[in-house]
Structures are given as C-alpha cells and as structure tokens.
Amino acid sequence: MDDHESAERIADVFADFQSYFNKEQDLREEIRSSVRDLEQTAREIHAILQQVHQRDGSKNVANICKSTDSYFETARKQFQELSSKVAENQYYRFHDHWKFALQKLSFLSALVTYLKMEKLITREETAGMMGVKLKQEEGFHMDLDDYLIGLLQMASELSRLAVNSVTAGDFNRPMKIANFVAELDAGFRLLNLKNDALRKRFDGLKYDLKKVEEVVYDLSIRGLKPDEGT
C-alpha cells in the first residue's frame, strides 16, 4: 500500500467517525427536545399544585389535583415519544438528559397522591402515572433512586404546606403531615443508602421533619392543636 492509499484509508476511517458523531449529536438534540417538553409539563403541574399553599387551597384540594390529570396524560405521551428515540440497552447512555425531569414528575405524582388520599404512593403507581416501566429489561423505566428522590422532594413540599396551612387557619393538616413525614423518615432509616445524591437528599429529610414538628409544637402551646381523631 503506497502513501496515497494509506492516506485515503485513514480519511475514510475518520469520515466514518464523523458520521457517527453527527448522528449521535442529532439523536441527543432530539432527546433534549423531548425532555424540554417534559420539563414544561412538569412546571405546569407544579404551578397548579402551588395553589394548595394559598389561603383557600385546603378547601379546593380535590379540584386542584383533578386539574393536573390532563397534564399527567400529556406527560405519559411525552415519555412514550421519548422512549421511542432511545434504542434498546441505550437507556443509561442518555439517562442524564431526562433524569431530573423524571425525578420531578415522580415527586409531583407522590404529592398529588398524598393530597388526594393522604397515603404514600407506591413505585408501581408512580410508574403508572408517568407511563414508564419498572424494570430495566422492560425498556424505558424509572430507577428506584429516582422514585426515592421524588419522595424526599415531596417531604420538603409538605413541610412548606404545613406552615402555610396554619396561616390559612387549617390546624388539622399539619398534624397529619407531621405523622406522615415521621413515618416516611422511619422508612428511609431502614435503608443503607450508598448513592451520594440520594444520601445527601435524605440528610435534608430530618430538617423537613423538624420543621413540621415545630409547627405542631407551636400549635400545641397556643392551644390550637386539634383533638386526636378530628
């Protein structure tokens, strides 16, 4: 092989590399576009749920939650569109693109479920609300870490709601939130967390619990704590 043939061969090899990079960049941009749509939907759901913090919010919780139904339906369609762009076994290659949107929608699913039924959403229910799978081998799925981070984000939102409920004259809700967050804290303490991001987020749960407990204590010393069972 002479020098000319060698140079042409090398040029062909690197041309193939450039073609690969171009396709990769195009795919990443398509994924980013889908994720931007998901993030917008999450912002719209969050904006609706912020109404529960307003003075009349506690009286309209059911209607506020119902208003998010169509947006969760949109999110399910957007996840379906996103999953169609990600090849099998390529999930973790692009996971960082949608990780935070997935966590936020997990948080919003947990918050809506608590506001509706005052219960902890299961991982299966969360995946169902978002239209994603539970297991890696099933395709586009939700990692356990993303579900747990969503729960911790919910605890922060509920601690804020406890404070705002008192301002709105609803003294019963903080008691329920305090019990729920305490049970959530107890559940997390059963886990031996290794993930740094999850561990750091869990460390904040004790402050959320302390904040709610201070609200309950303040109600107690002011004689505003409702009787048990009310």
Has residue 1 got a pLDDT over 70?
no
With cut-offs at 50, 70 and 90, classify the pLDDT of residue 59.
confident
Return the percentage of the chain with pLDDT > 70, whole number.
Answer: 90
Has residue 155 got a pLDDT over 50?
yes
Q: Are 145 and 95 in contact (CB under 8 A)?
A: no
In this prediction, residue 46 carries a pLDDT of 98
As given in the structure block, the two tokens for residue 90 are 């390529």
Write the DSSP string, 18-83.
HHHHHHHHHHHHHHHHHHHHHHHHHHHHHHHHGGGGSTTGGGSHHHHHHTTHHHHHHHHHHHHHHH
Q: What confidence tens digit (pLDDT) does each residue in 3-41 have?
A: 566 667 777 767 677 666 777 787 789 999 999 999 999
Q: Residue type for 185, please? A: D
With cut-offs at 50, 70 and 90, classify the pLDDT of residue 137.
confident
In this prediction, residue 230 carries a pLDDT of 46
Strand partners, 133: 141
In this prediction, residue 82 carries a pLDDT of 94
Q: Are 55 and 167 in contact (CB under 8 A)?
A: yes
In this prediction, residue 76 carries a pLDDT of 97
Q: What confidence tens digit (pLDDT) does each residue in 180-228 have?
A: 999 999 999 999 887 688 888 899 999 999 999 999 999 999 887 776 5
Q: Please state which of the ranges 57-61, 124-128, 197-201, 218-222 shows the lowest mean pLDDT.
A: 57-61
Q: Which helix (H) or strand (E) holds 183?
A: helix 173-188
Cα–Cα nearest to 136, from 74, 67, 61, 86: 86
